[in-house]
Amino acid sequence: MITLIFLLTFTTTTDEASPVPAHQIFQYIDEHQHEYVQRLREWVAIESDSSDLLKRQDVIKMMHLAEERIKQLGGTVELAELGVQELHNGSTVRLPPVILAGLEKDPEKPTVCFYGHLDVQPATLEDGWSTEPYNLTEINGSLYGRGTSDDKGQILAVLNAVEALQQYELPVNVKFLLEGMEEVGSTGLFKLVEERNSTFFSDVNYIVVTDSSWVSNKPSITYGTRGNSYFFIEIECAKKDLHSGAFGGIIPEATSDLIFLLSTLVDSSGHILIPGIYDAVAPLMEKEKKLYEKIELDFEKKKAIFGIRNFTYNTKEEFLMRKSRYPSLSIHGIQGAFSAAGTKTVIPARVIGKFSIRLVPNMEPSVVIKQVTDHLNKKFAERNSPNSIGITCMFASKPWLSDTDEPLFLAGRKAIEKVFHTEADLTRIGGTIPIVSHFQEVTGKSIMLLGIGGPDDAPHGQNEKINRYNFIEGTKLYAAFLQELASF
């Protein structure tokens, strides 16, 4: 397991002069936007797919390209090694570097650490892309390419903002934590955060995650994410697959048992049927309720983008709450059952059902695991099947929630008003970013998600993009945010 750590130190002379007017910073950014797009083109060209071991060197190359960009800003570099990643077959492979960077070291200034990732999801033209996924293509103001929105473009926007501020004055101490394994579980990063908590994070006041998108075309700030617990239900009825003509009707089939159990988990409205699962959910307070009323959302556009026939909830507030502040259960698939094209008259000897539950604040993974296990064992006993059952939680991560009245959020809201001339939407997201809750547990720092991705950027999907408008105005947003943060 090998992780490289980059620690950068910049020195900027400060005086009692007034802050540099934002319009001067914004003008610099406008004048250099074509250069910024070219940098994104170079970053997108690297196929840093962390899920493909054959592309591991590309991930490492991507990390070194980021290192080079940071050095161009005048930084010094420290490298640290964490070892290798062990594979299932017993072999090992080098982990990509993790970048830890620092800009400014003035004890009188607040320090903010930006987190992001430089690895991407798999992408090929054959997947259904309209353009080559690793060749940045601009069409009608949109920059298409894998990683443009998730998360290379957002990281570059921060670095470009720092460069623009350096032309005048960097108003706060800035650090970066950039990794190359986020899309496959951030291997090695959790331990690194714990090891560096007393050193790298010791002078950090705030942590900002760039890996997020807006709910609508209106800029948003995220103050909460859901956690996740992923389960396997394994049912076995025989030691080998059986012929349905010879054994159909005379044995309790594993697939039938599994489908029965899966049907007891959630109803057609999305309500989870596991007893006690909602007991720990935090009550909805009036202050939070008002936040949902302010958020913009276009139901019809969202349905059209993703080809959805209808949503379960048709009021904006209920939709937003059900997708972010309440738990949900999703069934993901059945392993071992026949799923290929054609016909096959087989009774699978062993099948595994896969489902996950998104957790919200106050829900403890250990409690949820017990609730799920007790429920499934009870239902299986009621079915009176002679087959064997195994229930396993494959992984669990906690939810995260922050206080929107903290200085970090106040600075973010002021920056959005300055750049976009509108009030920010304060949102929670339904997905999970495990490292965020880990940051909170280990460092105890104030955390915020301030992303610039659009609502239709399609991260992880075909034709991922970031709009040039988001990319350039987002660069201004990060610059304005750092200026605003200096006043707290």
Tens digit of each residue's pLDDT (9 = 90 or more) over 83-141:
788 887 888 888 998 999 988 788 999 999 999 999 999 999 999 999 999 999 999 99
Look at residue 70 and tell me whether its pLDDT is greater than 90.
Answer: no
The more confident residue out of 142 and 20 is 142
Q: Which of 119, 151, 179, 484 is catalytic?
A: 119
**Residue 14 binned pLDDT confidence (cut-offs 50, 70, 90):** very low
Q: Where are the domains of the chain?
A: 22-225+399-485, 228-281+326-392, 282-324
Is the full-model pTM beyond 0.95? Answer: no
Give the SS3 label for residue 100.
strand
In CATH, 22-225+399-485 is 3.40.630.30: no
Q: Which CATH architecture has domain 228-281+326-392?
A: 2-Layer Sandwich (3.30)
Burial 283-319 (b: 16+ CB within 10 A, else e): eeeeebeebbeebebeeeebeeeeeeeeeebeeebeb
Q: Give whole-number Cα distances, 262 to 151, 331, 436, in Å.
A: 35, 8, 30
**Residue 79 binned pLDDT confidence (cut-offs 50, 70, 90):** low
Could you confirm whether 182 is annotated as catalytic?
yes
What is the C-alpha R_g of the chain?
Answer: 24
User: Whose CA is closest to 161, among 273, 73, 287?
Assistant: 73
Q: 426-479: per-residue pLDDT in tens? A: 999 998 888 999 999 999 999 999 999 999 999 999 999 999 999 999 999 999
Q: Which of 67, 182, 464, 484 is catalytic?
A: 182
Look at residue 156 and tell me whether its pLDDT is greater than 60.
Answer: yes
| % of the chain beyond a pLDDT of 90 | 77
Q: 182-194: per-residue pLDDT in tens? A: 998 898 999 999 9
What is the rounded CA–CA span in Å between residue 436 and residue 207?
9
Strand 220-225, strand 346-347: pairing: unpaired
Could you confirm whether 473 is annotated as catalytic?
no
Look at residue 167 and tell me whether its pLDDT is greater than 60.
Answer: yes
Q: 90-101: per-residue pLDDT in tens? A: 888 889 989 999
Rounded to the nearest integer, the mean pLDDT of the chain is 91
Least confident of 211-220, 264-273, 439-448, 470-479: 211-220
